[in-house]
A and B are shown apart, each in its own frame.
Chain A
Amino acid sequence: MISARRLVAISALFLLGACASKDNLVVVIPEENGHIGAVQVESGGSTTLLTGAYAALGAGSGSSHMKPVQVASTEVGQIFGTALSAQPIPPKTYTLYFISDSDDLTPASKDAFEQVFGEIARRKAAELAVTGFTDTLGDPAYNDQLSLKRAKAVRELFVARGLKAEDIVAAGRGERDLLVPTGPQKSEPRNRRVEITVR
């Protein structure tokens, strides 16, 4: 028979153990749009793939042998609340298209171009990543250069509107990340685009 007092003492020990085992802690955070988060943890000579919301490993102070622990969302809030509150506004991306064989934006893209300024205004410190893309017509290496050239042209549009050039990174992705998948050597207007990411 275990006395009630003894049970309390044992529970207290378990609680202490539970706390101590989280001095070192890794927790996967639940994600939107169905993505399953995953982190591979190498600790104490073994490797664990943590997957899914609130999958967690913990270890006590000074220990380098992390073991599975139960972590509730409220506990994540208590321990990581300040760090999570300090997360920046997520980057936001706009896509611009050009009227065929011209440097002129389509009417819808002119609207998107203006929206970029509203997104910049939401942030205390903003930078732009301007990334050009091509279709698959032509040589891939040439398309890398062509897409960079388009990105740099769009960067100039923003500089002309008063943004600082050093706050805008221009890059060319060539025919990688086709918006509309096609075979090689295919003209496709929707793939000839520039993406503006405000971050």
Chain B
Amino acid sequence: MLFALIASPQDSRADDPIGQIKTLSGTVTVTRGGAPIKAAIGDHVMQADEIATGSDGAVGITFADNSMMSLGPQSKLDLDQFQFDTTTHAGVFNSSLKAGTLAVKSGQIVQQTPFAMHVQTPAALLGVRGTEFVVRADGAAN
């Protein structure tokens, strides 16, 4: 009974897609398990993916909790941790902007639990209460 309360049947698994690429221009790569792959609209992203844009690149992603992130050129974003329970909306979303520009709209994770979404940059750790902000990180894109 206790187990049933804790383990929801809709818990996300580590190999589940956490989001989908909705917009893309120029060069965009997704690195999964060390191998960079050229990204396309419709591709899914997973926890631990690293997203990078070239000097002509931009990309927009919508995540499973309806949060959205988009990157400008010469940017690098690591999707460190994403957990989302579609029944309770409990979850965490931690990412790292290593370089470049990022626009964020928070979603159901933050709506349920303020500050459950974090963006780490070389200069700061951002805790998100919602909903829209932009951040630039001064760092190497490659």
Contacts and interface: CB of A to CB of B under 8 A. Distances in A.
A74 to B, nearest CB: 14
Given A24-B136, A25-B135, A38 B130 contact: yes
A152 to B, nearest CB: 11
A131 B22 contact: no
Contacts of B101: 79-80, 82-83
Nearest to A166: B17
A95 to B, nearest CB: 15
Interface string B34-76: 0000000110000000000000001111101010101111010
23 contacts: A24-B137, A24-B138, A25-B134, A25-B135, A35-B130, A40-B127, A41-B126, A41-B127, A43-B124, A64-B122, A80-B134, A83-B70, A83-B75, A83-B103, A86-B60, A86-B103, A87-B105, A90-B105, A124-B42, A131-B86, A144-B8, A148-B9, A173-B87
Interface string A108-127: 00000000000000011101
Contacts of A41: 124-127
A64 B130 CA distance: 23
B69 to A, nearest CB: 9
Contacts of A66: 123-124
5 closest residue pairs by CB, A with B = A171-B86, A88-B22, A83-B72, A43-B124, A24-B123
Q: Determine the interface band of chain B, counting residues with CB < 8 A from chain A.
A: 35 or more
Interface residues of A, number: 60
A80 B124 contact: no
Interface in A154-198: 169, 171-174, 176, 197
Contact of A124 (B41, B103, B105, B121): B41
Contacts of B68: 87-88, 90
Interface stretch (A5-13, A55-63, A96-104): A55-63
Contacts of A81: 72
Interface in B7-46: 8-10, 20-25, 41-42
B109 interface: no
Nearest to A40: B127
Given A80-B134, A86-B72, 19 more contacts: A27-B134, A27-B135, A30-B132, A35-B131, A37-B129, A37-B133, A39-B127, A60-B138, A64-B124, A76-B134, A79-B134, A80-B72, A80-B136, A83-B58, A86-B24, A86-B59, A89-B22, A124-B23, A171-B10
A28 B123 contact: no
